[in-house]
Amino acid sequence: QVQLQESGPGLVKPSETLSLTCTVSGGSISTYYWSWIRQPPGKGLEWIGYIDYSGSTVYNPSLMSQVTMSVDTFKNHFSLKMSSVTAADTAVYYCARASVTTYYYYMDVWGKGTTVTVS
Amino acid sequence: SYVLTQPPSVSVAPGQTATITCGGNNIGSKSVHWYQQKPGQAPVLVVYDDSDRPSGIPERFSGSNSGNTATLTISRVEAGDEADYYCQTWDSGSDHVVFGGGTKLTVL
């Protein structure tokens, strides 16, 4: 049973860089695609982007200028960095496993989420 | 970019059928997925590829997709189904995931 666990600082200062890691257990990171999603307080879900085991990435166009994702297949984890954060980046951040083909993209395993406050 | 529109709220009595819609331009040509999110918890995939259910999801949850509307149907609604539900698809035009705004299901 694959499980995902987010980790990282819960508090980030404005203009600094938010850094989170998602550790994959119970399965290899070298299959599937790996996503980040966030949810501001009281609001809906926003997809940030995905990365595959080779390091290929696709980012949400609205966040592309801020976002960098990376993967470490030896440690079986992947990471998110968001630069120049503002209060608008305050959210619960989720990592998730994605099944992807040319026709669909869905997320079938999610981490519990980690709250990041920019203040 | 592609927009998915959901009603903000749906209410249903226990034992009845809940229908949650997700509107989008020619959404019937896309693959649509549905997530359930209870307060303080991560989303859970309940329907994928329009109408398939992941293992462990009750048969009471079903989906359909045609024309400009995708639909999540929950039969014999239980109190435990009360949650926010989000539809999601892939926007091939701009290469990114799109979520609907979410629908709060209230069980009366």
Residue A57's Cβ-side half-sphere holds a number of Cα atoms within 13 Å equal to 18
Q: What is the pLDDT of residue B49?
A: 95
Q: Is A41 on the interface with B (CB under 8 A)?
A: no
| Residue closest to B47 by CA, chosen among B36, B59, B33 | B33
Tokens of A49: 């982007």
Q: What is the pLDDT of residue B95?
A: 86
Q: Is B31 on the interface with A (CB under 8 A)?
A: yes
Q: What is the pLDDT of residue B106?
A: 98
Q: Is B29 helix (H, G, I), strand (E, B) or coil?
A: helix
Q: What is the pLDDT of residue B36?
A: 98
Q: How far apart are CA B92 and CA B95, in angstroms?
A: 5
φ, ψ of residue B81 to 5 degrees: the values are -85, -10
> Nearest CA to CA, how far is A93 from chain B (Å)?
10
- Which residue in chain A has the smallest CA separation from B93? A61
Instruction: Render each residue's pLDDT in chain B as its tens digit; 108 residues.
Output: 899 999 999 999 999 999 999 999 999 999 999 999 999 999 999 999 999 999 999 999 999 999 999 999 999 999 999 999 999 999 988 889 999 999 999 999
Q: Is A19 helix (H, G, I), strand (E, B) or coil?
A: strand
C-alpha distances in angstroms, B10 versus B72, B73, B88, B104? 12, 12, 18, 6
> Nearest CA to CA, how far is B57 from chain A (Å)?
12
Q: How many CB atoms lie within 10 A of CB B44?
A: 17
Q: Is A114 on the interface with B (CB under 8 A)?
A: no
Q: What is the pLDDT of residue A80?
A: 98
CB contact under 8 Å between A35 and B97, yes or no, is yes
Using CA atoms in the order B103, A116, B44, A57, what is the torsion angle rounded to 10 degrees? 110
Q: Is B57 on the interface with A (CB under 8 A)?
A: no
Is the alpha carbon torsion for B37, B69, A47, B31 positive or negative?
positive
Q: What is the pLDDT of residue B1?
A: 86
Measure CB to CB from residue B43 to each of A49, A103, A110 and give the nearest one.
Answer: A110
- Which residue in chain B has the smallest CA separation from A5? B42
CB contact under 8 Å between A105 and B35, yes or no, is no
Q: What is the pLDDT of residue A100?
A: 87
Q: How far apart are CA A43 and CA B57, in angstroms?
A: 25
Residue numbers in chain A where pLDDT is lower than 70: none
Measure CB to CB from residue A44 to each of B1, B48, B101 and give the nearest one.
Answer: B101
Q: How far apart are CA A77 and CA B77, in angstroms?
A: 38
CB distance B56 to B10 below 8 Å: no
